[in-house]
Structure 1
Amino acid sequence: MDPRNQLGPRTGPTVEPSGGPVPPVVDQPDGSPPGPSAAGQAASAWEAWLATPPGQYVMRWERERLGEAVVDMFGYFAVQLGFLELDALAANRMPHRIRVSLRRDRLPEDGRRPDLIVGSFGELPLDSQSVDLVVLPHQLEFCEDPHQVLREADRVLRPEGRLVITGLNPISLWGLRESATFRPFAPFLPPTGQFISMPRLRDWMKLLSFEIDSGHYGCYVPPCRTQKWLDRMRFMERAGDRWWPICGAVYMVSAVKRVRGMRLVGPAWKLRRATKPAPAVAVSGRSVNGRTYSRESAVVLPFRRRP
């Protein structure tokens, strides 16, 4: 069977290409449409924050890093979940690049339409082991159940499939500013469901048999609201990447889905003991099988060990 035919929504409608008709809307498994939630309000605030100078600063860094990460990932199907303002699959060369959005999300202003609209990223209408690449840009921070989203990404990925995740780093100047108990100033970042550190995310992914092959931190500039101060603090990029690399405001993690194979073990009586020749050197003055060997005519005799 052609692997291209194995991917498709369970509910019937096919995936339309970008720029085509309005994509299908997939409701919850029980048939009820998803209602507003705290995660949805946080995502709306995040979309508004992306239009600010620090938001554009983060998008430029992630666009560059994601392009480097996905450009050499090959297969048939690549899926991006949410954050359509950033085209994470632009540099990827897979023939089918599917952008999935939530029903509550606002469409990008550039007119780019999602290929599929769902009610929750924890219930994707995709077949199991049918996708070669899944990109989760800042989705674990806004979803109500990040563990379920990771499990769903693991379900739809093929063995040796790739998973790329971006998020905000709580161990950074930006994260510490937001987590301070006493804040006489206005919040700098939009409200999020939770900050997930990279070590914590690594533990979650290891439980799902993901093997992390690369990780990057970035955006070391202090939390500045104006483009003028962001440009003045640009020198901290190189210094932070060298002296405090784990304190970047954002991070990106790339992992591979590993599936262990089976090893058939037969009865012990069917196993034969391997025989290995034991080299023996004939030295001068020794007689072997009635022949005398001198030091100059030493030879190696392939004696076989007794079973």
Structure 2
Amino acid sequence: MTISGFADWLETPQGRYVLDWELARHDQIVADIFGFNAIQLGLPQLDYLRANRMPFRFSSDDRADVSPVAVRATPLQLPFATNSIDLVVLPHALEFEDNPHQVLREVERVLVPEGSVVVTGFNPFSLWGARRRLARRTLPPPWRGQYISVPRLKDWFALLGFETRAGAFGCYAPPARQEKWLRRWDFMERAGDRWWPFAGGVYVLQAIKRVHGMRLIMPTWTDRKARARALVAPVTQKKADSQ
């Protein structure tokens, strides 16, 4: 599977409806996650880390022109040391990977103890999920992705030692193509949060890497900052060399 074309779909009224909700929820979640290094895997044209205040923020594509530093990376093989990243955001990255569980394994490897991962995905148990089941395989994104349910994602988190921390569902309106119809269904946003909160078309879920039985002794602020700079230096150099 491929995420090719998904960014173009996000420019449509249907896609913008989803994107506006996702960015707003990411702003709420990542603003209160602290550390030194954060990376966004997927959709490098957009900045899901815009509300985060970490000094070093990366995007996993060297063509990106947004605020995070751009690096060449794939979700299955990240160019970062073990226990070196404080935050990883995965906007729809799992849905277009053949082995999404392995992606989470790689995320677990690079995250520091108590580091966070934030996953965005389409909810298969929603009107959007029903639309995907009726779609032909030849249709463009977002209907080609493999939708991963929140219960399944929580099971994967638990197997990898993550603890689910926060999350939200949104986009309760039917997946109409035209903006006027999306506006007419606007009342479902308020009703959905109250009456059927688990039926939103998309979700955002945060989990924290726990290391049981280990006492976490954090280095001093100066030491951590020095390590963070050491991490970002070779990445920035590679970017400069490629230009």
TM-score normalized with structure 2 length = 0.82
The residue aligned with 1:9 is: none
Opposite residue 44 of structure 1, the aligned amino acid is S
Q: Is the 8 A contact 1:174 1:249 kept in 2?
A: yes
Distance 1:69 1:177 in 2: 28
1:20-169 mapped onto 2 (5 Å cutoff)? 39-40=1-2, 43-101=3-61, 107=63, 111-112=65-66, 115-118=70-73, 120-169=74-123
Question: 5+ unaligned residues in a row in structure 1: which ranges?
Answer: 1-38, 264-307
In 2, distance between residues paired with 1:193 and 1:232? Answer: 27
Closer, same or farther: CA 188–235 of 1 in aligned 2, 3 Å: farther
- What SS class does the counterpart of residue 149 from structure 1 fall into? helix
Bigger relative CO (Cα 8 Å, ≥ 6 apart): 2
The answer for unaligned runs of 5 or more in structure 2 is 216-243
Per-residue CA deviation, residues 6-61 of structure 1 (Å, 9 max, x unaligned), is xxxxxxxxxxxxxxxxxxxxxxxxxxxxxxxxx23xx1131221111010011100
What percentage of aligned pairs have identical amino acids?
52
For the residue of structure 1 that corresponds to 2:33, the secondary structure is coil
Contact kept, 8 Å, 1:63 with 1:86, in 2: the verdict is: no
User: Which structure shows the higher helix fraction?
Assistant: 2
2:198 is the alignment partner of 1:246: yes
Deviations 1:161-186 (A, max 9, x none): 01100000110001112213xx69x9
TM-score by length of 1: 0.66
For the pair shown, the structure with the greater C-alpha radius of gyration is 1
| Aligned residue among 197, 219, 222 for 2:149 | 197
Quickly say closer, same or farther: Cα 1:77–1:83, change in 2 above 3 A: same
Figure out how many residues of one structure are paired with residues of the other and give that number.
213
Distance in 1, matches of 2:124 and 2:141, equals: 11
RMSD: 2.0
Matched residue type, 2:208: V
Letter in 2 for 1:154: E
Contact 2:47–2:66 (Cα < 8 Å) also in 1: no
Preserved CA contact (<8 Å) 2:83 2:110: yes
Letter in 1 for 2:43: F
Does the CA-based 8 Å contact 1:220-1:236 persist in structure 2?
Answer: yes
